[in-house]
A and B are shown apart, each in its own frame.
Chain A
Amino acid sequence: MDALKTWLDRSGLASIAILAVLLLVVFPLAMDSFRLNLVGKYLTYGFVAIGLVMLWGYGGVLSLGQGVFFGLGGYAMAMFLKLEASDPQSTAIQSTPGIPDFMDWNQLTALPLWWEPFNSFGFTLSAVVAVPVLLAFVISYAMFKRRVGGVYFAIITQAVALILTVLIIGQQGYTGGVNGMTDLKTLLGWDIRSDEAKTVLYFVTTALLLAAVLLCRWIQLSKLGTLLLAMRDKEDRVRFSGYDVSMFKVFAFCLAAALSAIGGALFTLQVGFMSPTLIGIVPSIEMVIFAAVGGRMSLVGAVYGALLVNFGKTYFSETFPDLWLFLMAALFIGVVMAFPNGLAGLYESHVKPWLARRKGGAAEAGGPPAGTPGEAGQQAAAPIASPGPSASPAAPHSTPAVAADPGLGLGTKVSSQSA
């Protein structure tokens, strides 16, 4: 048992190590700084995607409003950078020098009070995480204590995303409106637009993302991870085992919000602006697609999902700009219908058994029966782990049963044991 467990733990670490090598060695060697900056931008969505793995995959709570937290993190960072870019010298031509240009255009004559703290880098860094987490806590505490869940919760998160974008666009003088905050130049005097800066920021993003993946993996392997899985499966049983289920969901939601916000702040740094078009309803749904394509039970899978979908988006939106949205929708429907556990699920159900067979079935045949908890969900949908000819009664045909799930997998069991 312990041997199996450590083996599984290590196998989780092995896939993280492969990802680390790819991001830290292969990409930087193979790409010029322009491409690398693109990847860095995609990786900021990786934060959102792993947050969704914890919230949606493990916690069974679908949020269609992660853009809100991505945006709050991104805007907090953008406010700091904007203030730094708006020193009196470079804004001398404004009627009120020393305030951000969009404020000047909107007839503001002084910096609003709530902007003042964003002159401090320390405050900004804490606000990047604290503000989104606070909002996430308020929303989720109010909802989950009242047992609002599933589709209703997803709709509420959509509403929040809409409210935030409307608010940002409407309050042009304070937020930059629909254009967002542009012309961000330096971070503590360091020019973030230079190639070197972009490369450094890429490595910072990657390091933070890998740290976040490790943190989430640790949470998955803790009792809290087990409880999240247990809640998704049998919420009442967890409640009547003496756990306050709502607080665990609140935690998962706040964790996902914090991760999204860090991603948003890094996005602002690397791309040099933040705007409401990046955080509304459509981007929020795209974020769910990243996690779904990569595999909502797999942290590493979600990062690959974010990379692949964004590569696809860049490529197709350049080549067939009109078709992209349809392709994206088709991709999502296809994933939900055909392989609900995404790329990671495909790997578990097809590649792994194939590798095992190649190694010689005998050694692996008695191998891990589905369900050492940390991995339980990853072995979903098809009876993956026992590829031997004897197989389990569920057989590969169990997939359609899961695929028929109408609610995008809202609160469904990702179980191979439906029989």
Chain B
Amino acid sequence: MSNTDFVLAVEDLTVSFDGFKAIDGLNLYVDRGELRVVIGPNGAGKTTLLDLICGKTKASAGSIKFKNQEMTRLPEHMIVRAGIGRKFQTPSIYENLSVFKNLEVSYPRGRGVFGALGFKCDKEVKAKVDEIADMIGLADRLELEAGLLSHGQKQWLEIGMLLMQDPELLMLDEPIAGMSARERELTAELLNRICRNRSVIVIEHDMEFVARIAHKVTVMHQGRILAEGPMDKVQADPKVIDVYLGH
């Protein structure tokens, strides 16, 4: 497969579970600095797609190139180290640790066993934690045990933990699920801010929210791409209306 300028180039990607093709010959290209939203009805394969990109699920066939580097055969932690961050659907944070520790542990230094033993939380780390905490609106909650945060704050904290690693590609699975209207607004602002110097892929159901953040929308259906383009164009596509928006 040829090299491209895209940050992420997914080509002919297929994964089958016991003969069922959850992703079926899918192609997807994401530009640098782009915020892409993936939508589609339940079971369309959106989460599976993210699982494949971050290595949680292994592809049956096809290629995933990140900055022209093949990812399909790398172990998960190497994919992360290459610069791909993944946020899970349910907030996945360390509930027993403080917000500060949650962010500190995510700092990309001392990732080996002995590196972790020798890790010092120096000024650089603290400055980064403060910067990110400020960005996700948790600067005054650093000492709080993360399990005590509200649902929305947990989602932000997880995004913050990813930002600590400065990934070039950030993948968010339904980041606003369960959030209040106000929290959604703040999240939209946050996403618009963080995609300035990186690419972001978001899976989302809320069309109003999608319209606010998306540069480009990809509609998935039964493991394939049904339509792709700007939000208004996609919304007007009769195929899309048929399988998804019309319901």
A interface, CB within 8 angstroms of B: 1, 219, 222-224, 226-227, 229-230, 233-234, 236-245, 247-248, 250-251, 369-373, 376-377, 413-415, 417
Contact of B113 among A236, A240, A248, A370 (CB under 8 A): A248
On chain A, the residues within 8 Å of B100 by CB distance are 1
Name the residue on B nearest A254 (C-beta).
B113
Name the residue on B nearest A379 (C-beta).
B96
- B92, B100, B110, B119: residue with the most chain A Cβ atoms closer than 10 Å: B92
Q: Are the C-beta atoms of B96 and A415 separated by less than 8 Å?
A: yes
Contact of B81 with A by CB under 8 A: yes
Name the residue on B nearest A369 (C-beta).
B145
Known contacts A241-B105, A248-B113; A371 and B93 CB within 8 A of each other: no
Known contacts A230-B94, A417-B95; A222 and B106 CB within 8 A of each other: no
* B residues 95-129 in Cβ contact with A at 8 Å: 95-98, 100-101, 104-106, 108, 110-113, 116-119, 121
Contact of A240 among B76, B119, B145, B147 (CB under 8 A): B76
Contact of B186 with A by CB under 8 A: no
Contact of B147 among A236, A250, A251, A415 (CB under 8 A): A415
Known contacts A223-B116, A242-B111, A251-B113; A377 and B96 CB within 8 A of each other: yes
Contact of B165 with A by CB under 8 A: yes
Q: Are the C-beta atoms of B105 and A226 separated by less than 8 Å?
A: yes
Q: Other than the known A243-B77, A373-B96, what 7 A-B pairs have Cβ atoms closer than 8 Å? A: A227-B105, A229-B94, A240-B56, A240-B77, A241-B105, A243-B111, A248-B116
On chain B, the residues within 8 Å of A413 by CB distance are 95-96
On chain A, the residues within 8 Å of B104 by CB distance are 223, 226
Contact of B161 with A by CB under 8 A: yes
On chain B, the residues within 8 Å of A219 by CB distance are 117
Q: Are the C-beta atoms of A373 and B98 separated by less than 8 Å?
A: yes
On chain A, the residues within 8 Å of B54 by CB distance are 240
Bound together, the chains give a CA A233 to CA B105 distance in angstroms of 13
Which 6 pairs from chain A and chain B are nearest by CB? A417-B147, A371-B145, A242-B80, A223-B119, A224-B116, A376-B96
Min distance, Cβ A62 to any Cβ of chain B, angstroms: 19
Encode contact with A along B116-160: 1 for CB under 8 Å, 0 otherwise. Answer: 111101000000000000000000001111111000000000100
Bound together, the chains give a CA A66 to CA B31 distance in angstroms of 53
On chain A, the residues within 8 Å of B56 by CB distance are 236, 240
* B residues 148-180 in Cβ contact with A at 8 Å: 148, 158, 161, 165
On chain A, the residues within 8 Å of B92 by CB distance are 234, 236-237
Contact of B96 among A224, A236, A243, A371 (CB under 8 A): A371
A-B contact pairs, 29 of them (CB 8 A): A1-B100, A222-B116, A222-B118, A223-B104, A223-B117, A223-B121, A226-B97, A227-B105, A230-B105, A234-B92, A236-B92, A237-B94, A237-B158, A240-B54, A240-B86, A242-B77, A242-B80, A243-B77, A245-B77, A370-B96, A370-B145, A371-B146, A373-B101, A413-B95, A413-B96, A415-B95, A417-B95, A417-B96, A417-B147
Contact of B75 with A by CB under 8 A: yes
On chain B, the residues within 8 Å of A245 by CB distance are 77
On chain B, the residues within 8 Å of A233 by CB distance are 94-97
Bound together, the chains give a CA A415 to CA B148 distance in angstroms of 12
Contact of B88 with A by CB under 8 A: yes
Q: Are the C-beta atoms of A222 and B81 separated by less than 8 Å?
A: no
Contact of A236 among B75, B88, B143, B148 (CB under 8 A): B88
On chain B, the residues within 8 Å of A247 by CB distance are 112-113
Q: Are the C-beta atoms of A242 and B108 separated by less than 8 Å?
A: yes
Contact of A241 among B97, B118, B145, B161 (CB under 8 A): B161
Known contacts A241-B161, A243-B111; A372 and B98 CB within 8 A of each other: yes
On chain B, the residues within 8 Å of A242 by CB distance are 77, 80-81, 108, 111, 165
On chain A, the residues within 8 Å of B77 by CB distance are 239-240, 242-245
Bound together, the chains give a CA A239 to CA B74 distance in angstroms of 13
On chain B, the residues within 8 Å of A222 by CB distance are 116-119
On chain A, the residues within 8 Å of B108 by CB distance are 242
Bound together, the chains give a CA A414 to CA B94 distance in angstroms of 12
* B residues 37-62 in Cβ contact with A at 8 Å: 54, 56
Bound together, the chains give a CA A236 to CA B80 distance in angstroms of 12
Q: Are the C-beta atoms of A244 and B98 separated by less than 8 Å?
A: no
Contact of B94 among A234, A240, A369, A370 (CB under 8 A): A234
On chain B, the residues within 8 Å of A224 by CB distance are 113, 116-117, 119
On chain A, the residues within 8 Å of B75 by CB distance are 244
Min distance, Cβ B30 to any Cβ of chain A, angstroms: 19
On chain B, the residues within 8 Å of A371 by CB distance are 96-98, 145-147
Q: Are the C-beta atoms of B96 and A239 separated by less than 8 Å?
A: no
Min distance, Cβ B58 to any Cβ of chain A, angstroms: 13
Min distance, Cβ A282 to any Cβ of chain B, angstroms: 32
Bound together, the chains give a CA A370 to CA B98 distance in angstroms of 9
On chain A, the residues within 8 Å of B145 by CB distance are 369-371, 376, 417
- B56, B105, B110: residue with the most chain A Cβ atoms closer than 10 Å: B105
Name the residue on A nearest B92 (C-beta).
A237
Q: Are the C-beta atoms of A223 and B81 separated by less than 8 Å?
A: no
Bound together, the chains give a CA A415 to CA B93 distance in angstroms of 13
On chain A, the residues within 8 Å of B88 by CB distance are 236-237, 240
